[in-house]
Structure 1
Amino acid sequence: MQMTLTINGQGHSVDAPAAALLVEVLRDDLGLTGTHIGCDTSQCGACNVLIDGAAVKACTMLAAQAQGARITTIEGLGTPEALHPMQQAFREAHGLQCGFCTPGMVMAGMEMVRKHGTKLTPELVTHELEGNLCRCTGYINIVKAIVAGAAAMESLGEAPHA
C-alpha cells in the first residue's frame, strides 16, 4: 500500500503492507530507530511518538491510520548539538540509565506538557507515567526530568501555560 506520512515536518512516501504498524514503518522503512520496540503489546511506552501533538504508542497504530497527521518522533525534537529542553532535562537530571525507555519517556513528557501545561508536579507526572515502563531507574529521576523539562520549555516560551 502506498502512503504518505508527514514525519518531523517532512513528507515521506512509503510502500508498506496495509497491516504495517507505524513503529515498523518508522524503524524499518524510514530508519527512524529512536522509536523503540519494547513489548509489542502497548505495555511499555518505548514506542511513544506524537501524533498531532498527542502521545501514541506506535506499536498499536497502523501506519495507514497516520496519513494526514503530523508525526513527531524523538529525532524530530532536537539535534545532538541542540537538544530540546525536555531532552536536555533528561540529561541533566540523569533521567536515564540504559536509555532504552528514554525516547518514549521524553515523548510522554511532551504529552504531559501539552495536556497540563508547564506547572507539572511530581505527583501528576508519576500518575501520567502509567503505561510507561523503565527497568533501570526507579522513575525518580525521570519524574524530576519531566518537571524540569516542562519548566525549561516554559522559560523558553515553548509550552502552553496551565
Structure 2
Amino acid sequence: MKLTLTVNGEPRALDLDPRVTLLDALRHHLDLPGTKKGCDHGQCGACTVIVNGQRINACLTLAVMHEGDQVTTIEGLASEGKLTPLQAAFIEHDGFQCGYCTPGQICSATAMAEELRQGWPSDATEDLETHPSLTEAEIAERMSGNLCRCACYPGIRAAILEALQERDA
C-alpha cells in the first residue's frame, strides 16, 4: 500500500505491506532507529512514539493505520541540535544506563507532560476535581508503561520532575 506519514514534521511517502507495524516502518523503511523494539508485544514501552499528540506503542499498530497522522519520534524532539529540557534532565539525573529504553521513556514523558497540562487524571490522582499535581507517585503511575531493565527509575522520575517543574515555573 502507498501511504504518507508525517514523521518529525516531514511528509514521508511509503509503499508497504499492510501488515508492517509502525515500529518497523520507522526503523526499517524510514531509517529512524531511535525507536526501539523491546518486547514487540506492547509491554515494555521501548517503542513509544507520539502520534497526533498522544503516546502509543508503535509495535502494536500498523503503519497503514496512520495515513496522514503526525508521528514524532525521539529524533524529532530536539530542535537544531539543541536538546529539549527533558532530554537534558535525563542526562543530568542519570535517567538511563544502557539507554535502550530511553527514547521510549522520553517520548512517553513528553506526551505525559501534555496530559498533565490538560488536566487528565491518572490512577494516582488524589482529587479528580482539581488539576493533577506533579508528584513522584503521579509520575510513576503515568510512566508505568515504560520499563527500564537497568532500574533507573529514580533518575527518570527526578529528570521528569525537574523538567516539568522548570517548565511550569
TM-score after normalising by structure 2: 0.87
Kindly tell me the number of residue pairs found equivalent between the two proteins: 155
Runs of 4 or more, structure 1, over 6 Å off, are: none
CA distance in 2, matches of 1:85, 1:57: 23
Which runs of 5 or more residues in structure 2 are unaligned? 118-131
2:155 counterpart of 1:141:
yes
Matched with 2:103 is 103
Matched, 1:85 2:85: yes
Specify the code of the residue in structure 2 equivalent to 1:123.
Answer: A
The counterpart of 2:166, out of the listed 137, 152, 158, is 152
Partner Cα separation in structure 1 for residue 14 and residue 168 of structure 2: 36
Matched with 2:67 is 67
Identity %: 40
Query: Where does residue 142 of structure 2 map in the other structure?
Result: 128
SS at match of 2:103: helix
Distance 2:115 2:165 in 1: 14
SS at match of 1:98: coil
CA distance in 2, matches of 1:153, 1:32: 28
- Which of 88-97 and 115-124 deviates more? 115-124
Query: Once superposed, what is the RMSD of the aligned Cα atoms?
Result: 1.5
SS of 2:33's partner is coil
CA contact (8 A) 1:112 1:128 kept: yes
Q: Which amino acid aligns with 1:47?
A: C
Q: CA deviation at 1:119?
A: 5.1
Cα shift at 1:40: 0.4
Q: Which residue of 2 aligns with 1:44?
A: 44
Cα distance 1:43–1:123, how it changes in 2: closer, same or farther (>3 A)?
A: same
* Counterpart residue type for residue 144 of structure 1: A
Paired residues of 2:94 and 2:152 also in contact (CA < 8 A): no
1:110 & 1:120 partners in 2: Cα distance?
A: 14
- SS of match in other structure, 2:59: coil
